[in-house]
Amino acid sequence: MKKVFSSFIIMAICGAFAFFSQSCSKIIPAQDVSWSGIDDTLMVPIVSDTMLHLGIGTGSFRYNIDSLIRNKTSNALSASNIQKVTVTSVKLTIVNPDNTNNFANFKYSALYFNSSVNNVSVLTAYVQNNPNVYSDTLNLPVGSSVDLKSYLYSSSSSGPVTINYAFGGQLRSPTTKILTVAAHVTYDIKVSL
């Protein structure tokens, strides 16, 4: 009888452990945090050649990703719970276009990304064979395989992260004035315990 009772107690403890382990994951499920980033301004100088340029115009801003995640998850999760970060869209807008200085000048355009956590630049979005028609707005196709987690979180750093964008491209025709380009990037941040 003691053996049966002991076996029953052990099974009850194991069952309770399994129940509470599963119910904890149900309390805080994995979540997607959508972040529309911060619009950043990139100053693109006059470019008089048609060579490929990887960093024509650059810009940066600081943002506290940990605070964003805590706010979006009611303090249940933080930056340490990031599983994956991907760019979902990139929209570039020339603020001061004219008939001879717009995205028609660029046959190839790209946006590169790095940060104060990881300073190795990664290509996040690009377009090849951009149409040779007037446009002050360009939506760059995003590469879905780029994971930016290592750029936005490191266990050895805390607080705001400096995010750097670099606009690159190859011109089909030279520009004749400095272009002000607004970059709007949206992200999907997957977080879970």
pLDDT attached to residue 156: 81
pLDDT attached to residue 21: 47
pLDDT > 70 in the chain, percent: 84
- Check whether 3 has a pLDDT greater than 70: no
Indicate the helix (H) or strand (E) that contains 6.
Answer: helix 2-27
| Full DSSP string of the chain | -HHHHHHHHHHHHHHHHHHHHHHHHHHS--EEEEE----EEEEE----S-SEEEEEEEEEEEE-HHHHHHHHTTTS--GGGEEEEEEEEEEEEESS-BTTBSGGGEEEEEEEEEESS--S-EEEEEEES--SS--SEEEEPB-TT---HHHH--TT--S-EEEEEEEEEEESS--SSPEEEEEEEEEEEEE--
- Check whether 42 has a pLDDT greater than 80: yes
User: Rounded mean pLDDT of the chain?
Assistant: 86
pLDDT attached to residue 26: 44
Render pLDDT for 104-148 as a digit per residue (tens, 0 to 9).
999 999 999 999 999 999 999 999 999 999 999 999 999 767 899
**Residue 84 token pair:** 């994956």
Average pLDDT (45-69) is 91
Asked whether the beta carbons of 35 and 87 are under 8 A apart, the reply is no
Which pTM value belongs to this model?
A: 0.81
- Check whether 24 has a pLDDT greater than 50: no
Q: What DSSP state is assigned to residue 144?
A: T
* Band of pLDDT at residue 54, cut at 50, 70 and 90: confident
Render pLDDT for 150-174 as a digit per residue (tens, 0 to 9).
999 988 877 899 999 999 999 999 9
Query: In the chain, what are the domains?
Result: 30-191 (2.60.120)
Average pLDDT (95-105) is 97
- Check whether 102 has a pLDDT greater than 80: yes
- Check whether 22 has a pLDDT greater than 50: no
